Chain A
């Protein structure tokens, strides 16, 4: 990118064309196929997270967006023009590297100003913009003369972000930049990245294997596995309406109960439901056939120490369609705000996981008999993955 000014016309666009439009991308490394027919659209100003286990192709996809790798097949447009074959320097994207890749022999000032120096921006303007960027990233002004090795991990992180943002790219690509930080610092920087995204309005594509991080930051999450995008949707879509058991299991703990299906009616030896039918919206797109996995999130389950006819936390209209299971507490873990119970239920191979707010009920003890209840509408049916 030759000039630091925004590449796109700031005039309002009636038809919101995506800033990144990747269609049908295949990537081969010799005979190994890393990406299978991947399509990804990122809107202007959108925060997209690519999530998946290691080796799922998320970093490969990011490198293709950045220009470090070229797709074997497929089209890729960034900012309305094809960028296939263009090197990273000629794309309106900037990357934040996993290991930050700050130049150890350059000062903080020289690191942040590097893209401006390459774009031949005046020295005085370079200084002004670096100062402004450092202030925005909460870096003290006297850090400018320091070298990266003299900064803490979090400060280095901010310098890396500042260097990537200084030339105002249309898209910021983040390759797991927070993975090396400790939990507390990670939280701080997640908040800052979210705030930064809100402030500058650039599109972010963030690669991470940490689903919690993706949920916190992104407007949209793409879950990847084995070179394919399995599901792309809002955090709550991904969380409550996963497309299959892999996505459901990848994102937080969940309960998957095998059930027999007869049309909309489900049947399970473990669940007793007043009205055992599902609405159309409760079927995942991936479901087909007469068997399935019924998903219920741990925090949507209520736990009772006595039979739940008298349970107070089920509303009258839900009562007619509530479901009940009976089981025995196998183990419990105190997680701070909530207590997690693992309850063995007859007819289920794996114990049910139940998250109960710490003070909601008196803690049940191990081996105690309990009743679990949940609303029929909180169920979601997945195909057997």
Chain B
């Protein structure tokens, strides 16, 4: 059976997407517009003043403090994406090719870890990493210094929590993508004289690119908004964008500034996604209609 590609000229398609479009418009686009409006208002004695001014935006663009937090957030998100992909590639490869018989068990374990509440897992890490916790106790028993391993309430701990909580996304995206690669392609590469590593580099990695890209986008978007990990594991010493926005709304009660910072984060996220989309589209154009007629 051939599935014909639908075009937007088909009126039934418009009708089918209408409910979702309405919900998205009502609960996403309208609040977004309201946030944009809010950023042009002012505050006086912690009260919102209905004016039209660009003072807040001047404030945002002239305070290095905000940008240092935004840049830290962006950097942390990018490092998190890189780490997640680097860890997920061998895991996904092993699940598909090396641990075939354990594939389902591993999948179930990852799903369980994934479905466990992030707050629980993150506090679990705190207990584990605490100066008097399991890890340091074990390292101490082995005769290793406790100072060197005291990473709780540092940026490294934040990153550990982020990577840990976001890893399932990249593992699953890359795993699904690798699973679809015809095993004969790898055999053909071995047969042509390629080593395992060369085969991975020349065949598996390029063909898993859609999964890598999808996983990267998911993790990046989620990492931009992490809130729990910097607070609980990073100890709030180096806050990230989400924490900055929360503080601006709740502690400083400066809603226009919070709205403006929110828009900046959304813009950074959207711009990065657009860039990734453009890269992916170019890659698709380069290799059109891949594997169209296999099976």
Which residues in A have some Cβ–Cβ distance to B below 8 Å? 1, 66-68, 87-89, 93-95, 97-99, 101-105, 114-115, 118-119, 147, 149-150, 153, 163, 167
Which residues in B have some Cβ–Cβ distance to A below 8 Å? 182, 184-185, 187-195, 198, 202-203, 206-207, 287-294
With A118-B198, A149-B288, A150-B289 known as contacts, the answer to whether A101 contacts B187 (CB < 8 A) is: yes
A105, B206: Cβ atoms closer than 8 Å:
yes
B188, A89: Cβ atoms closer than 8 Å:
no
With both chains docked as a complex, state the minimum distance between the C-beta of B279 and any C-beta of chain A, in angstroms: 15
Residues of A contacting B198 in the complex (Cβ-Cβ under 8 angstroms): 118
CA distance in complex: A274, B292 (Å) = 64
Residues of A contacting B202 in the complex (Cβ-Cβ under 8 angstroms): 103, 114
With A89-B193, A118-B198 known as contacts, the answer to whether A97 contacts B188 (CB < 8 A) is: yes
- Write the chain A residue with the least CB distance to B188: A101
CA distance in complex: A153, B287 (Å) = 18
CA distance in complex: A93, B191 (Å) = 8
A104, B192: Cβ atoms closer than 8 Å:
no
Residues of B contacting A68 in the complex (Cβ-Cβ under 8 angstroms): 187, 190-191
CA distance in complex: A156, B185 (Å) = 14
With both chains docked as a complex, state the minimum distance between the C-beta of B183 and any C-beta of chain A, in angstroms: 9
- Write the chain A residue with the least CB distance to B186: A101
Among candidates B194, B206, B292, residue contacting A118 with C-beta atoms closer than 8 Å: B194
A119, B193: Cβ atoms closer than 8 Å:
yes
11 interchain pairs, CB-CB under 8 A: A87-B190, A89-B194, A89-B195, A95-B187, A95-B191, A101-B188, A103-B203, A104-B294, A114-B192, A147-B287, A149-B291
With A68-B187, A97-B187 known as contacts, the answer to whether A105 contacts B192 (CB < 8 A) is: no
Residues of A contacting B206 in the complex (Cβ-Cβ under 8 angstroms): 105
B289, A149: Cβ atoms closer than 8 Å:
yes
With A104-B290, A147-B290 known as contacts, the answer to whether A99 contacts B191 (CB < 8 A) is: no
Point out which of A1, A101, A118 has the most chain B C-beta atoms below 10 A from its C-beta. Answer: A101
Residues of A contacting B182 in the complex (Cβ-Cβ under 8 angstroms): 99, 101
* Top 3 A-B pairs, shortest CB-CB distance: A101-B188, A101-B184, A115-B192
Residues of A contacting B191 in the complex (Cβ-Cβ under 8 angstroms): 66-68, 88-89, 93-95
CA distance in complex: A98, B188 (Å) = 11
Residues of A contacting B287 in the complex (Cβ-Cβ under 8 angstroms): 104-105, 147
Point out which of B189, B192, B289, B292 has the most chain A C-beta atoms below 10 A from its C-beta. Answer: B192
A167, B187: Cβ atoms closer than 8 Å:
no
With both chains docked as a complex, state the minimum distance between the C-beta of B185 and any C-beta of chain A, in angstroms: 5
- Write the chain A residue with the least CB distance to B209: A105
Residues of B contacting A67 in the complex (Cβ-Cβ under 8 angstroms): 191
With both chains docked as a complex, state the minimum distance between the C-beta of A117 and any C-beta of chain B, in angstroms: 9
CA distance in complex: A163, B192 (Å) = 8
A105, B207: Cβ atoms closer than 8 Å:
yes
With both chains docked as a complex, state the minimum distance between the C-beta of B121 and any C-beta of chain A, in angstroms: 37
With both chains docked as a complex, state the minimum distance between the C-beta of B116 and any C-beta of chain A, in angstroms: 37
With A114-B192, A118-B192, A118-B198 known as contacts, the answer to whether A99 contacts B184 (CB < 8 A) is: yes
CA distance in complex: A193, B81 (Å) = 49
Among candidates B188, B195, B203, B294, residue contacting A95 with C-beta atoms closer than 8 Å: B188
Residues of A contacting B203 in the complex (Cβ-Cβ under 8 angstroms): 103
B288, A147: Cβ atoms closer than 8 Å:
yes
CA distance in complex: A176, B184 (Å) = 14
- Write the chain B residue with the least CB distance to A166: B192
CA distance in complex: A104, B283 (Å) = 13
Residues of B contacting A97 in the complex (Cβ-Cβ under 8 angstroms): 184, 187-188
CA distance in complex: A101, B202 (Å) = 14
- Write the chain A residue with the least CB distance to B283: A105
- Write the chain B residue with the least CB distance to A90: B193
Point out which of B187, B191, B194, B294 has the most chain A C-beta atoms below 10 A from its C-beta. Answer: B191
Residues of A contacting B294 in the complex (Cβ-Cβ under 8 angstroms): 99, 104
A114, B189: Cβ atoms closer than 8 Å:
yes
Point out which of A87, A105, A163 has the most chain B C-beta atoms below 10 A from its C-beta. Answer: A105
CA distance in complex: A95, B191 (Å) = 7
B193, A1: Cβ atoms closer than 8 Å:
yes
Residues of B contacting A87 in the complex (Cβ-Cβ under 8 angstroms): 190
With both chains docked as a complex, state the minimum distance between the C-beta of B68 and any C-beta of chain A, in angstroms: 41
